[in-house]
Structure 1
Amino acid sequence: MKLLLTSGGVTNPSIADALVDLLGKPTAEADALCIPTAQWGHPLCGPVSARGFVSGLPPWGGLSSMEWKTLGLLELTALRSIGQDRWEPWVREADVLLVDGGDATYLCHWMRESGLASLLPALPETVWVGVSAGSMVMTPRIGGAFVEWPSAPDDTTLGIVDFSIFPHLDVFPTNSMDEAQRWATEIDGPAYVMDDQTAIKVADGTVEVVSEGRWTQFP
């Protein structure tokens, strides 16, 4: 799987170019599925913000309002009840999965419960575009400060990549560089701190920061 791990989505031309490069074609020729599941695990999210992500309306981002060949909705909490033989073809036929933020541990739980997590290794050409928690779920740990789902056993996530992500730098008062430094001490592993104008592109084992904003890396 190819990854475009963003903080705030496709927010500038550099990130948009990175997405097209991963897809190997314009977005207008790509079939996309959007996944809002992480929102249900975060107390600050709900029906209005979930609809905002799906519709692409501001201020909830614009991934779904980009020009796509087709755009569908995939709700992970529903997948177990309909069977993998039905939903797996939808995922395999998609060029890109657009995965929204919320709580990364909740998203991780439903990726595993639904069977999507175990399917990822069989999707080498599919592009995963994460926003906030949709990016953090691919990391080994998110840090206790980012766990908002009360049922989360800990802060561990899928570990598809070997680094952690501190998103939304300077967007919220709690997302300052000082807080990021404290967070990185808890993580105790490679980590990136990035603002909403920054993304991390991962393809063929290569990690590349794509940014028109502010970011830093903790070794």
Structure 2
Amino acid sequence: MKLLLTSAGVKNASIQDALVGLLGKPIAESSALCIPTAQYGHPNLGPGEGAWRFISGRSPLPMCDLGWKSVGVLELTALPSIPEELWVPKVRETDVLLVSGGDALYLCHWMRESGLADLLPSLRETVWVGLSAGSMVMTPRIGQDFVGWKPPAGGDDTTLGLVDFSICPHVNGEGRPGNSMAEAESWAAGIAGPAYAIDDETAIKVVDGNVEVVSEGHWKLLTP
């Protein structure tokens, strides 16, 4: 799977160019499935307007409104109740998965419960575009600062670990919505591994283990 891990979606031309490069064809010729699930577990989002805005392309964070050939919805909480033959082929044939922000642990839980997490390694050409929690879920840990929803069986801040670094998104600087660099550095002190602090104009591209930062803004690699 090819990863484009963003803080706030496809916010600028550099991130969009990286996306087109991963797709290997124009966005207008590419099919997408959007995954709004992470929103439901976040205390400031939940079901309702936020999920609708994401799916309908009315969100200020560019994802579903980029001019895709087609956009469908993959709701992870529904998948355990339906046969795999109804949804697995749709995932395999789509070009990109657009994954909303929200609560990363809630998203991780439903990726595992639905079977999507087990399917990911076989999706060699599929592009995963994460937004905030949709990016953080691919990391080994999110850090205690980002723990909100907790699985019924308990657990810590562990996520899927498909990359070997963690991400602090929305590090937009003093006086702007999001996190400060000082907060990101404090968060990173509790992460036993490398971590990227990225602002909303930055994304991290990962292909076959090769990591490249794509940015028109500011970012910092924080090491233990």
Q: What's the TM-score bracket when you normalise by the shorter of the two chains?
A: over 0.9
SS at match of 1:120: helix
Distance 1:181 1:13 in 2: 28
TM-score in terms of structure 2 length: 0.94
Distance 1:142 1:83, change over 3 A: same
Aligned residue identity for 1:179: E
Moved over 6 A (4+): none
Alignment of 1:1-219 (within 5 A): 1-46=1-46, 47-59=48-60, 61-151=61-151, 153-170=155-172, 175-219=179-223
Distance 1:118 1:27 in 2: 27
SS at match of 2:87: helix
* Residue 173 of structure 1: how far off its partner (Å): 5.7
Identify unmatched segments of 5+ residues in structure 1: none
| RMSD of aligned residue pairs (Cα, Å) | 1.2
Distance 2:142 2:54 in 1: 22
Distance 1:174 1:66 in 2: 24
Aligned residue identity for 2:160: L
* Residue 174 of structure 1: how far off its partner (Å): 6.0
Distance 1:19 1:174 in 2: 24
Q: Identical aligned pairs, as a percentage? A: 67
Distance 2:84 2:136 in 1: 25
Distance 2:93 2:140 in 1: 28
Aligned residue identity for 1:193: A
Distance 1:115 1:214, change over 3 A: same
Aligned residue identity for 1:106: Y
Kept in 1, the 8 Å contact 2:170–2:178? The answer is no
Structure with more of its chain in helix, by fraction: 1
Distance 1:10 1:29 in 2: 17
Distance 1:173 1:100 in 2: 18
Aligned residue identity for 1:90: K
Distance 2:178 2:111 in 1: 28
Aligned residue identity for 1:143: G
Kept in 1, the 8 Å contact 2:99–2:128? The answer is yes
Distance 1:3 1:55 in 2: 23
Identify unmatched segments of 5+ residues in structure 2: none
* Residue 86 of structure 1: how far off its partner (Å): 1.3
Distance 1:178 1:135 in 2: 21
Distance 1:62 1:167 in 2: 16
SS at match of 1:186: coil
* Residue 148 of structure 1: how far off its partner (Å): 1.2
TM-score in terms of structure 1 length: 0.96
